[in-house]
Amino acid sequence: MKETFTVPARAEVSVHNQAIFDKLQKGLGFVPNLYAYFAKNDTALGDYLAFQNRKSTLDAKEREVVNLVTSQINGCRYCQSAHTVVGRMAGFTDGQILDIRKGTAPFDPKLDALAKFTASVVKNKGRVAVDDFFAAGYTEANLVDVVIAIGDKIISNYLHNLTELPIDFPLAVEL
C-alpha cells in the first residue's frame, strides 16, 4: 500500500512555523507545498530555509545551474518546476533552462563548466576531477558552495520524491 502524504495547513503547524508561513506568504504570495511539508517538524522548516538562504560565493544564476542540474538528475519534478520559475527570474530563457537541466550551458563557457561539474558530482557522489571547474575560473570557496547547494537540492529532491506532494508551480517540461 502506498502512503499518502498531506500538506499541512497553517493551523496544523506549530506557532513557530506559523510565523514562517506568514513570512513566506508575504514574500512569495503563497507557501509552497514542499516548504509547508517541512513544517511537520517543528524546527526543520526554519533550519532548511536558513541553510538554503545562506550567503554564497555563487551568484543567482550559478545557484540555479546547480539547482536545475541536481533536480533533473534526481528526477524531482517539483524542484525542476520551482527552479524553472526561479531560473527565469534569474534571467535564463526557457531554452537555456532546458540546456542546463541536460547538464550543459553552451551559451556561457563558465556556466557550462559549472553545469558539467555539478552533473558529474551528483552522478558520481563527489568522486570527480576538479580541473575543468577550476580552469573555468572557479575557486575552492566556490567548490564548497557548489557542494552545499547540491546538498540543499538533494534534501528537497528526496523529500519530494518520497512524498510526491502536489506541485504548486507551473509544471516544467519533461526532458
- Distance from C-alpha of 97 to C-alpha of 161, rounded to nearest angstrom: 21
Say whether both 90 and 48 belong to one domain.
no
Q: Is the distance from CB of 67 to CB of 119 less than 8 angstroms?
A: no
Domain coverage including residue 14:
10-52
| Nearest to 152, CA basis, from 144, 140, 164 | 144
Q: Are both 110 and 73 inside the same structural domain? A: yes
Which amino acid, one-letter code, is at 126? G
Q: What is the pLDDT of residue 20?
A: 98
Instruction: Answer whether 0.75 is exceeded by the pTM.
Output: yes
Are residue 74 and residue 159 in the same domain, yes or no? Answer: yes
Give the chain's domain count: 2
Q: In the prediction, which pLDDT does 1 show?
A: 63
| Per-residue model confidence (pLDDT) at position 83 | 98
Q: DSSP label at 165?
A: P
Classify residue 170: in a domain, yes or no.
no
Instruction: Tell whether 76 and 26 lie within a shared domain.
Output: no
Whichever domain contains 121, its CATH number is 1.20.1290.10
31 & 94 share domain: no
Q: What is the pLDDT of residues 120-170, one digit of tens each?
A: 999 999 999 999 999 999 999 999 999 999 999 999 999 999 999 999 999
Do 91 and 36 fall within a single domain? Answer: no
Residues 38 and 81 in one domain: no
